[in-house]
Amino acid sequence: MKKSIRIIIAAMMAAVLVFSLAACGSDDSENTQTANPYVEYESFEEATEAAGFDITVPDAPDGYDDVSYSVMDGNMIEIIWSDASGNEAYRIRKQPGSGDISGDYNDYSEAETVGVGGKDVTVKGNDGAVYVAIWEADGYTYAIDIDMGGKGLSKDEVISMAETIK
């Protein structure tokens, strides 16, 4: 009799262990995280070396002196200008290939394609303020995603920026 009780207890403990392990391996989407595809770099030179290509960018806007450099998946460079509080001015991206790499999926009431230095730049925004610009040139695709405290920039300011980015 003692032997059968021990067997029953051992079987119950084994069942509890199996169910515990199964629960640990369950797919709990609340705890699942996606790996960050961006790698941050300390300098412009390190980022362009990691990306495998160079980029020219405009000067930092007044009051936005913090700059971060990152490369996504080893082939898209991103440069972000922020103020001391972490508020973004804008981010500039460049990647080999074509397509919209802005990451801005908002619907804007205004969109226009403008010729800028031999390239067609599409600017999008609302109420005369531009929040995103995208274009392709020389085998690369480019994007400017603009915040500026939620105010965007004028079309002329964005065109001026796009002229300097290569």
- Give DSSP secondary structure letters for 65-133: -EEEEEEETTTEEEEEEE-TT--EEEEEEEEES-S--S------SEEEEEEETTEEEEEEEETTEEEEE
Question: What per-residue confidence (pLDDT) applies to 35?
Answer: 73
Lowest mean pLDDT segment, chosen from 8-12, 14-18, 99-103: 14-18
Question: What per-residue confidence (pLDDT) applies to 13?
Answer: 58
Rounded to the nearest integer, the mean pLDDT of the chain is 87
Average pLDDT score over residue span 7-12:
57
Tell me the whole-structure pTM to 2 decimals: 0.78
CB 153 within 8 Å of CB 91: no
CB 92 within 8 Å of CB 79: yes
Residues 99-119 have pLDDT tens digits of 999 999 999 999 999 999 899
Average pLDDT score over residue span 16-40:
62
Tokens 């925004």 correspond to 125
Of 95, 77, 75, 76, whose CA–CA distance to 136 is shortest? 95
Residues 63-113 have pLDDT tens digits of 999 999 999 998 999 999 999 999 999 999 999 999 999 999 999 999 999
Average pLDDT score over residue span 142-147:
97
Amino acid at 138: D
Question: What per-residue confidence (pLDDT) applies to 21?
Answer: 46
CB 57 within 8 Å of CB 79: yes
Q: How confident is the model at residue 33 (pLDDT cuts 50, 70, 90)?
A: confident
Domain coordinates in residue numbering, the chain: 38-164
Bridge partners, 141 (sequence order): 95, 136
